[in-house]
Amino acid sequence: MSLQVKITKKLANFSLDVDFTVESREILAVLGASGSGKSMLLKCIAGVETPDTGCIVLDDRVLFDSSRKINLLPQERRVGLLFQNYALFPNMTVYQNIYHSVRKGRYSGPEQERLINGIMDTLQLTKIRNNSVMRISGGEMQRTALARILVNDAELMMLDEPLSALDEHLKFSLEMELKEIIGNFGKSVLFVTHDRDQAHRLGDRIALVNDGLIEKIAPVREIFMHPDTVEGARITGVKNIAAATVKNGIVEVPRWGLSFDLCRIAGSDGWSEKDIHYIGIRMNDVKLAKGKEDLSKGNIFTFKIADVLSNVFSYTVKLYNPDVSDPLPFYWQISKDLWEPEHRNIVELYLRDSIVMPLK
């Protein structure tokens, strides 16, 4: 049960050009900013949009192949797509939405009833089975849309920005629900999102997409530890990104006034001097210096505090290096139980070598 995709499609501002595989039972998250071509990718796989060139193969079935002029109808692809707005049939009840999503001629009458009732039970839809889908909550809409895909015997489930249509306070519990449902699906799952936390929580692997191209595809941990490109760093939430120059094994970041030893920050990752143009540091990876840090694994730097933003459980501190004539802000996030600003204007921070990410 694997999906192989290698397609190109010209869009208004850029071209979608991707080549990737989703393994059997794997959950692949496609992470990218809005308008990076993610939704178009799903529509091409589902068959409601046609790529310009390439091929799409699900298990051993060719869904699309431009060179062999194969282009299966969406009806024949057996690919479930959960739309951002769920796209339920608005003129029907919950039950009718699910009933009409069962493939015709696949089951006998009683079998079909058992299947529908079983899935409605699991997804807790039985109580609202006769409600119009226009009169149910966002969570119930999501479960109804998922139930349609589950009774449809889809070989692949795709989700387009799941939960993005919901209020913040609902997202938390519905994401738990979604995680369980797609975890039990037992076949490949492909979902697109612009929410890095969601991609991190739900995905096995992540494909970083920017302007229609996949910048990197790797297991979740690897993506967040080594995004490799500036865009990748931005999408995965790195707030500190600055231009760097590398000479004789020393990485200089002039606008932060910082320098690092190349072999200490990237020695094992095979970066060569000419590949590194930027440096990224996550603001929560930076620690407060307490005087007993291991200086063989990092360095202590002094910053001036420009501003402190108070979040619910943490501070985001805007810093700069006073010795630099044209400083770039450096952001640091610290939990409120570990630090209080108390009218300080200087702070000493410990930057471990391992948190410094070289970027192309």
Partner 1 sequence: MDLYPLYNSLRIALISTVLIFFMGIGTAYYVARMPKVIKGVLDVLLTVPLVLPPTVVGYLLLRFLGPHRLVGAFFFENFDIRLTMTWWSTIFATVVVSFPLMYRTTRGAFESFDRNVENAARTLGLSGGFIFWRIRIPCCKAGIIAGLVLAFARALGEYGATSMISGYTPGITATISTTVYNLWRTNNDDLAYKWVLLNLLISALVLVFLNLFEERRRKS
The answer to whether 309 and 359 have CB atoms below 8 angstroms apart is no
Q: Residue with structure tokens 């694994």?
A: 297
By CB atoms closer than 10 A (0-12, 13-18, 19+), residue 178 is buried
**Which listed residue (27, 88, 192, 241) binds partner 1 by CB under 8 A?**
88
What pairing do the DSSP bridges indicate for beta strands 258-261 and 250-253?
Answer: antiparallel
**Spatial strand order in the sheet of 250-253:** 245-247, 250-253, 258-261
Q: Residue with structure tokens 């089951």?
A: 107
**Which listed residue (19, 50, 52, 85) binds partner 1 by CB under 8 A?**
85
Cα(27)–Cα(215) distance, integer angstroms: 18
Residue 81 binds to partner 1 (criterion: CB under 8 A): yes
What is 160-229 written as a DSSP string? ESTTTTS-HHHHHHHHHHHHHHHHTS-SEEEEEES-HHHHHHH-SEEEEEETTEEEEEEEHHHHHH---S
By CB atoms closer than 10 A (0-12, 13-18, 19+), residue 165 is middle
φ/ψ (deg, to 5) at 41? -60, -45
Contact string (CB under 8 A) for partner 1, positions 129-148, x = contact: -----x----------x--x
**Which listed residue (36, 93, 101, 144) binds partner 1 by CB under 8 A?**
101
Contact string (CB under 8 A) for partner 1, positions 158-197, x = contact: ----------------------------------------
User: Least Å distance between CB 154 and partner 1?
Assistant: 8
Residue 11 binds to partner 1 (criterion: CB under 8 A): no
Q: Which is nearer to partner 1, 74 or 237 (CB)?
A: 74
Applying CB under 8 A, the span of 77-85, 121-129, 231-239, 300-308 interacting with partner 1 comes to 77-85
**Chain centroid offset of residue 48 CA:** 23
Residue 199 binds to partner 1 (criterion: CB under 8 A): no
**Which listed residue (9, 38, 43, 282) binds partner 1 by CB under 8 A?**
43
Residue 290 binds to partner 1 (criterion: CB under 8 A): no
Binding residues among 103-132 for partner 1 as defined by CB under 8 A: 103-104
Q: Which is nearer to partner 1, 82 or 246 (CB)?
A: 82
Residue 73 binds to partner 1 (criterion: CB under 8 A): yes
Residue 46 binds to partner 1 (criterion: CB under 8 A): yes
- The site for partner 1 (CB under 8 A) is made up of 43, 46-48, 73-81, 83-85, 87-92, 100-101, 103-104, 134, 145, 148-149, 152
